[in-house]
Amino acid sequence: MSDMRQMTALGRSIEDGSFAIIDREAGRHEFDPAQWQIVRRVIHATADFEFKELMRFHPEAVGAGMAALRRGVPIVVDVKMITAGLNEERLKFYGCSTHCFISDDDVIAAAKANNSTRAIEAMRKAWRRGLLDGAIVAVGNAPTALLETVRLIENEGVRPALVIGVPVGFVSAAESKEAALGLGVPYVVARGRKGGSAIAVAVIHALLFLARETEP
């Protein structure tokens, strides 16, 4: 098994020790082994065991996510914090590219003109550019980006390979995730108010590791 972790031996031993603590303290759970690899990495990123109760997976989510990464699909994110947190070398291995439009001038102008949000207009721009079909969509900050993704799937027939819906917040955060749970496409969701860009990054990194570990 190839180890994609760009760490020293000491760094790897610390990470391995952290995962051992998580496995021990988390106790029994109902996740399958691949799902648990994702959940434990989320817990590792947050030191918050409540994510063991919050994480939800579409039955095809892990397989769809791994297959998408191996195809080198675009990864469309709501905020640059996710892009900054992703390991470029791991993405480059499969040829994946990241796309974030939230700070683009035309997106800002459209949000003002339409009285919407930059997150909504950024997802619409990704859709107009044909980036969403077959892509991984990761939302870690803006509930309106997830709600717009849900709308595009339901009303416009968009079909991402995987939706990672983990926005943090108080207004529409929990509601956006509940909407995502009803999607007809694979999803990974953290229910409730908790979430964040670090969670989205953790999910993608876990999928990258799983993709390498299970390669023929």
Indicate which residues carry an active-site annotation. 44
**Residue 202, Cβ density class (10 Å: 0-12 exposed, 13-18 middle, ≥19 buried):** buried
The residues facing 138 across adjacent strands are 77, 164
At residue 16, what is the residue type? D
List the 136-139 sheet strands across, edge first.
55-57, 187-190, 162-165, 136-139, 74-77, 97-99
Q: Is 198 exposed, middle or buried (0-12, 13-18, 19+ CB in 10 A)?
A: middle
Give me 185's structure tokens. Answer: 């496409």
**Interatomic CA distance for residues 130 and 158, integer angstroms:** 9
Decide: 191 and 177 in contact? Cβ < 8 Å.
yes
Distance of CA 70 to the CA centre of its chain: 16
**In contact, 81 and 45? CB cutoff 8 Å:** no
